[in-house]
Structure 1
Amino acid sequence: MTDLQGPALTLDALRRFLPMHLRIRDDGTVLSVGPTLAKLMPNLEEGIAERLVNARPGHGICPLAAIREAVDGQGRLMLRIVNSRDIFLRGHGVRDCEGAMLLNLGFGISLHRAIRAAELTDDDFAPSDLAMELMFLREANRGVLHVLSRFNDQLAEARQEAVLQAQTDALTGLRNRRGLDIELAQALRLNGHRHEDVATPLALIHLDLDHFKQVNDLLGHLAGDELLFRVAAVLKQQVRKADTAARVGGDEFVLLMRGMTSRSALRDLSKRIIRAIRLLTPPELVGYTVSASMGIVIWLPGQADCPEDLLARADKALYQAKASGRSQAVIL
């Protein structure tokens, strides 16, 4: 039987052919280190002790024993750099003609971290190594994910803006009837999880302008729209951040006042609003003074009112205010 022996490589050829190699004796003496591996671990030629550890899960053996086991058992090797806990070396090895162990290593999933740590370039890898191609794909993937993330953020913002527009009155910028229904349902905890211990007391104010019809009839609809816009500004100024002001149609407005159940506080609020609205009367409107009538209801946790019932009660109170001479508020 013919004894075949492969061609011997010079040290320079070995370093060029396997830039990530490690050639080591059984006693731990390092014979040769590939230039790329040396760039990452400059002192590796002094020995692997305290520089490499076995990274195989469940294997507590020393790195030299792990190398011998992988080489002689023709298995895979997994090492970790001691001073770079997130950089791993994986590969396999053989015995060369002199009996030394020759390892061919790579970075595996820690490739990008190794490239960053040692400032590696394409010249540091063998031409057959796809390291740079993999890095390109990784960066391209990150770029695509970044674009997708930005697109998703923009889509979410657009969706949120569309929802807000669908719940907003175009003329005044207040909530419309749909927006009010949503806010009121949430305030009453009618989303399938109503609990008395989490619901907040509230007051609902139904406001209707007095003599608004005369503004439209005598001064025109542009003057009417301008008045509605200025009334909305008054309401925005009077309500708190947690409250909701809505225009529910024509010259009708609804205020949802969270946590406000004091009758005296509600009377003071209604007086301030009425006084401010009276000041909005157009000087051209001779013989009439624009004002507001209000119907107010108070809701406490535990009461069985649904949004429709609460709005109906506020409407009833508003009717009483109108019937009592306008420019006033009635609290039920």
Structure 2
Amino acid sequence: MAETSCLMPASALAQLLPMHLWLREDGTLISAGRTLAKLLPDLDDGLVGRLSGARPGEPSDPMTAIRGAVDGRRRLFLRVEGSQLVLRGHGVRVAGGSVLLNLGFGIGLHHAIRQAALTDDDFAPSDLAMELLFLQEANRGVLNELSRFNEQLEQSRARALLQAQTDPLTGLGNRRKLESTLSAALKTSETGEIRPFALVHLDLDNFKQVNDLLGHQAGDDLLRAVGKVLRDQIRHADTATRIGGDEFVLLLPGMTSRPALKQLSARIIGAINALTPPELPGLPVSTSLGIVVWPTDGAEHPDEVLALADEALYASKRSGRSRATIR
């Protein structure tokens, strides 16, 4: 590239201003900084197709945009064609009517570095671009690390909550799980809509004899088997809990059909009866169920609903056991 009279020769400009662009009035290139030449290696062939005006409402022709910004003493914005990169800067008229521009990357710095594989050597020593990029990358790294930490913390919290609400023997929910789920079920929606459900309280008939005659290991095995029966019989949206000893509670959202509840009860009774240990042929294990369909009068709080289900359970026991009572 030929040198033209200016404050300094083009070779000095290239060293001092690695992002400069020196143009004749007709747009012919006189000199380009080494970094700009690295980003746009074909500037000798002209600006059209490589740069365009990027300010809204102004001509896209690059030389028209440059003249308008320089003569109007405005900031200059030039888009690098084929990319999202926008160069910004300012310019002045110099000898012979030529235009000297000093450009920069602004917030698009990281795009330019990736696009042209720029390094610290491509910036003037006084340019804080690399320091700013380092801070940006460091900040992104910190934010990513915080995000990862928060995700791990949330996962740990969820695991701890699940563990705190799980019965270790059967893998069902425990009393704490029942309390939280039942409390949520009793709350009406924001529109005041009542969401009905059925609550099933059941325990095992003759469970004490299993423990006394066969030992606690046999009793624990039976409870685990009952837990599997309940998981197999309920829907995904339902909740099965063991609230202590041989007592279990099912919460069945939307289940208000008495015939459907009777069918479910019969399946549970039959499946649990089949769990009777062969060592106790004359003492079958069975289950009694007490069921409350909510909403029901006199039951607005979890304890009140549980009390009604408990009353229904004992009605089943008084009636001969191995049956369900729905109230």
Task: Name the TM-score class by shorter chain.
Answer: 0.7 to 0.9
Q: 2:87, 2:105 within 8 Å by CA — same for their partners in 1?
A: yes
Take 1:265 and 1:68, find their aligned partners in 2: how far apart are those partners? 82
Take 2:112 and 2:105, find their aligned partners in 1: how far apart are those partners? 7
1:127-172 CA-to-partner distances (Å, cap 9, x unmatched) read 3333333333333332222222111111111111122222222221
* 1:41 corresponding residue in structure 2: 40
Take 2:274 and 2:82, find their aligned partners in 1: how far apart are those partners? 76
* 2:289 corresponding residue in structure 1: 294
* 1:81 corresponding residue in structure 2: 80
1:11-52 CA-to-partner distances (Å, cap 9, x unmatched) read 333223222110123343332222321232233334434543
Query: 2:192 is matched with which residue: 195, 204, 221?
Result: 195
SS of aligned partner of 2:217: helix
Q: Give the deviation of 1:174 after TM superposition.
A: 0.9
SS of aligned partner of 2:41: coil
1:213-292 matched pairs, under 5 angstroms: 213-285=208-280, 287-292=282-287
Take 2:39 and 2:59, find their aligned partners in 1: how far apart are those partners? 24
| Corresponding letter in the other structure for 1:283 | P
Q: Give the deviation of 1:102 after TM superposition.
A: 1.4
The answer to which of 64-73 and 116-125 deviates more is 64-73
Aligned residues: 322
| Corresponding letter in the other structure for 1:324 | S
SS of aligned partner of 1:267: helix
SS of aligned partner of 2:127: coil
SS of aligned partner of 1:295: strand
Take 2:259 and 2:145, find their aligned partners in 1: how far apart are those partners? 55
Q: 2:6, 2:95 within 8 Å by CA — same for their partners in 1?
A: no
Take 1:272 and 1:260, find their aligned partners in 2: how far apart are those partners? 16
Q: 2:298, 2:304 within 8 Å by CA — same for their partners in 1?
A: no
1:252-307 CA-to-partner distances (Å, cap 9, x unmatched) read 1111122322322222221221122122223344752221111112225x977423
1:311-330 matched pairs, under 5 angstroms: 311-330=306-325
| Paired-residue identity, % | 61
* 1:3 corresponding residue in structure 2: none
1:98-145 CA-to-partner distances (Å, cap 9, x unmatched) read 542211111111011112222333333333333333333333332222
Take 1:21 and 1:303, find their aligned partners in 2: how far apart are those partners? 83
Take 2:177 and 2:131, find their aligned partners in 1: how far apart are those partners? 53
* 2:90 corresponding residue in structure 1: 92
SS of aligned partner of 2:269: helix
1:48-90 CA-to-partner distances (Å, cap 9, x unmatched) read 3454344346656865455345545655333222432x21112
| Corresponding letter in the other structure for 2:185 | A
Query: 1:109 is matched with which residue: 82, 90, 107?
Result: 107
Take 1:327 and 1:126, find their aligned partners in 2: how far apart are those partners? 88
Take 2:227 and 2:265, find their aligned partners in 1: how far apart are those partners? 14
Query: 2:148 is matched with which residue: 150, 158, 165?
Result: 150
SS of aligned partner of 1:325: coil
Q: 1:202, 1:259 within 8 Å by CA — same for their partners in 2?
A: yes
Does 2:125 match 1:127? yes
Alignment RMSD (CA, Å): 2.8
* 1:10 corresponding residue in structure 2: 9
Q: 2:18, 2:35 within 8 Å by CA — same for their partners in 1?
A: yes
Q: Give the deviation of 1:243 after TM superposition.
A: 1.0
Query: 2:159 is matched with which residue: 158, 161, 164?
Result: 161
- Normalising to structure 1: TM-score of the pair? 0.85
1:210-263 CA-to-partner distances (Å, cap 9, x unmatched) read 112222333333332222111111111111111111111221111112232232
Q: 2:6, 2:94 within 8 Å by CA — same for their partners in 1?
A: no
| Corresponding letter in the other structure for 1:13 | A
Q: Give the deviation of 1:200 after TM superposition.
A: 3.9
SS of aligned partner of 2:275: coil
Q: 1:32, 1:45 within 8 Å by CA — same for their partners in 2?
A: no
Take 1:28 and 1:7, find their aligned partners in 2: how far apart are those partners? 17
Q: Report the CA distance shift for 1:61/1:229 in structure 2 as closer, same or farther (over 3 A).
A: closer
- Normalising to structure 2: TM-score of the pair? 0.86
Q: Report the CA distance shift for 1:304/1:195 in structure 2 as closer, same or farther (over 3 A).
A: farther
The answer to which of 207-216 and 7-16 deviates more is 7-16
